[in-house]
Structure 1
Amino acid sequence: MQRHTLSESHSSGWLFCRPAWFLLAGVLLLAACSQPNSGVALSGATMGTTWHVTYLPGPQTAPPEQVQASLEGLLVSVNDSMSTWQVDSEISRFNRGVVGSWVPVSGHFARVMAEALRIGERSGGAYDVTVGPLVELWGFGPVQPRMELPQTSAIEAARNRVGQQFIEFDGELQRLRRLRKVELDLSSIAKGYAVDVLANALSERGIDSFLVEVGGEMRVAGNSPRGDAWRIAVERPEPGARAVALGIALEDIAVATSGDYRNYFELEGRRYSHSIDPRTGYPVAHDLVSVTVLADDCMTADGWATALTVLGADEALALAEAEGLAVYLMRRDGERIVPLYSSAFAPWLEQSTPTQ
């Protein structure tokens, strides 16, 4: 079995927007620091990945070390709520809890859960935060990669432990409970939420020009250090290479990209994507290779990018139109990469730089 991951590189002048788990450390800082007025650049580690913030300070802005400490504290609180790697996190305690019992949850958890369930419902189950057993079964979880395909019986057994309909959420009382022994994994949306938490914290400090990135998900506001809009590069989906498909000038918007061309395995001549369809229990097998979503908040962009990747190009574009989502898709047609986009994305193309 051949397992594919990413090699390190960067592209001058553009900030790469790429699948969340594969943004390379240092790309944002390299791009920002190459400018004459680079502002302040902060970075660190969180959620098993990296985070970067670049902002333009004002005369009353606190020293960078104070801003960094504040942001790191917020990231710790999000991680303490939603990390499945921490045995004492809020989500880990919930997953170990008694089926049928109501569990009070924090504001962080409640906000993310509400949006995750909404996207799951609107996507017809293509997005499901209980999909973890299937992800692990196919070898894309924390366990070792599979050397053979799972048996049909194992897939069906895992599917019996998947389904957001078995999660009951009471937003008013900020609590939830399981109706069956399913487990939550919010990693497909938590990084986007963390971006929003940091962005809101910067705004509350009076900082109105910034870029926030956590694990590849981004949100920008105001102007870049160059004095113009932030420039984000959408990667062309080419395994083993790194090239820009589209450059977009962005202001006051969040962006998330999901794709299946970097994380997959090949067995007996067939490719198996890390994107698992919760409705079937199998990896997706369509020609959609990259989804980029723009939204007012990064949590929404993050969740929808995952959902649309599962659906495939035609269904994804139709749903994006129905939901009014700004979406840029790339599908593979033989040796060609064919771009598609929703009506809501069209205005952003007027400020874009195609490079194909």
Structure 2
Amino acid sequence: MTLGAAVLLLAVGCLQPPAPIEVTGRTMGTTYSVKFIPPDRDFDAKPLQQEIDKRLVEINQQMSTYIPDSELSRFNQSKAGDWFPVSPQLAEVVQLAKQINHESGGAFDVTVGPLVNLWNFGPDHHPEQVPSDEAIAAALANIGDDKLEVRLDPPALKKSVDGLYVDLSAIAKGYGVDKIAELIAESGRKSYMVEIGGEVRAAGQKPDGSPWRIAIEKPIPGARAIQEVVELSNQSLATSGDYRNFFEVDGQTFSHTIDPKTGRPLAHTLASVSVLHQDCGSADALATTLMVLGPDRGYNWAEEQKLAVLFLIRDKDGPVVRRTSLWPNAGE
């Protein structure tokens, strides 16, 4: 090789964009992953990760039901009647939740917390057992979006019954993804992927010009397998399913998603729902909404709302049936 050729190869190598940087950690009882394209090969990601961790701690302190002194926990412990001051962020999330509740006819209801706890899927752990009809009826008396009010200026929440208990677990991870995505964008990064507990938001492209590719799991309990791959660019993806968080009693399976109308875990054949949306908070909440609505009502509602949705439905003969609404072609 001549000296000129070596110099040319070196120059070409220097023009290659830097590889993505990944930072990871734990938050909201799960893990997070952030990948982004750095401005140069010498970029120090530690200060940015410190900002990510700080922002996630703030969101947890606002919205967690597992932290006794979080804003949400203190609201849940408060008495009915008076406006309870909260952060603008918590008010924003509750307002979005109430909007989706209204649009879905009550299928998405963040006041379902007492039932989540009653069925052993919240912070108030107890032995896995099926609650009595009387206990379910008592919990239902404290549930209902109409019992929860929100205002944005000044930000505050109000409950009409003492027993109201708000659980944001079906929207907070997606909201957290959005806030971290905003943080990454504010740092000047135009290409990134943010994931918290399986909820994802991506922007831009990878260094080779290809979009970020996200795998959707097959709804198989106790196993990890890919159903299909979705290409994401300037979009969010959230999935809700019945195959990860559940318990069994006398051969019957009880999923963690509770129907706010019946007070019981879902009992239909819809195994999982994946939603593509502009923001991840909405995608997260809509995935749960569609799980509650089920394979038929959920599909019809997704079509009405013009949502991009992948439904994976259990057939009575065993295989999973794929049904879509405005869903892009699966990646290879």
Q: Does 1:107 align with 2:88?
A: yes
SS at match of 1:135: helix
Q: Do the aligned partners of 1:61 and 1:207 also contact (CA within 8 Å) in 2?
A: no
Structure 2 unpaired stretches of 5+? 1-16
Q: In structure 2, do the counterparts of structure 1 residues 225 and 142 end up closer, same or farther at CA, with 3 Å as the change threshold?
A: farther
| TM score, norm. by length of structure 2 | 0.90
Q: Deviations over 1:190-223 (max 9, x none)?
A: 1100100010111111101001011111100111
- Kept in 1, the 8 Å contact 2:66–2:123? The answer is no
Aligned counterparts of 1:144 and 1:235: Cα–Cα separation in 2: 28
Partner of residue 98, structure 2: 117
TM-superposition CA deviations, 1:140-173 (whole Å, max 9, x none):
2234454432111111001112111100112343
Aligned pair 1:239/2:221, yes or no? yes
Match of 1:58 among 17, 32, 39: 39
Counterpart for residue 331 of structure 2: 352
Task: Output aligned runs, 1:59-138, within 5 Å.
Answer: 59=40, 63-138=44-119
| Matching residue of 1:160 | 141
Say whether 1:297 aligns with 2:279.
yes
Amino acid at match of 2:307: L
Give the AA of the match of 1:140. F
Ranked by relative contact order (alpha carbons within 8 Å, sequence separation 6 or more), the top structure is 1
- Give the Cα–Cα distance (whole angstroms) in 2 for the partners of residues 274 and 61 of structure 1: 45
Deviation at 1:288, TM superposition (A): 0.2
**DSSP-derived class of the 1:130 partner:** helix
Instruction: Give the number of aligned pairs.
Output: 314
Shift of 1:285: 0.5
Q: 1:240: how far off?
A: 2.8
2: distance between equivalents of 1:170 and 1:61? 46
Within 5 A, what are the aligned runs for 1:257-272? 257-272=239-254
Deviation string, structure 1 residues 75-99 (Cα, Å, up to 9, x no partner): 1111111111222211111112221
**RMSD of aligned Cα (Å):** 1.8
Q: State the match for 1:341 in structure 2.
A: 324
Query: Do the aligned partners of 1:61 and 1:206 also contact (CA within 8 Å) in 2?
Result: no
Cα distance 1:167–1:202, how it changes in 2: closer, same or farther (>3 A)?
A: same
- C-alpha separation in 2, matches of 1:76 and 1:269: 39
1:329 offset after TM fit, Å? 0.5
Q: 2:171 aligns with which of 181, 186, 189?
A: 189
Structure 1 partner of 2:189 = 207
Runs of 4+, deviation exceeding 6 Å: none
User: Taking structure 1 as reference, are residues 41 and 147 closer, same or farther at Cα in structure 2, changes over 3 Å only?
Assistant: closer
Alignment of 1:298-317 (within 5 A): 298-317=280-299
**TM norm structure 1:** 0.84
Deviations 1:228-250 (A, max 9, x none): 11111111112232221111111
- Compute the displacement of 1:49 (Å): 1.4
Partner of 2:12: none
Q: Percent identity over the alignment?
A: 44
Could you say what secondary structure the match of 1:291 adopts?
strand
In the alignment, is the contact (CA less than 8 A) between 2:117 and 2:125 conserved in 1? no
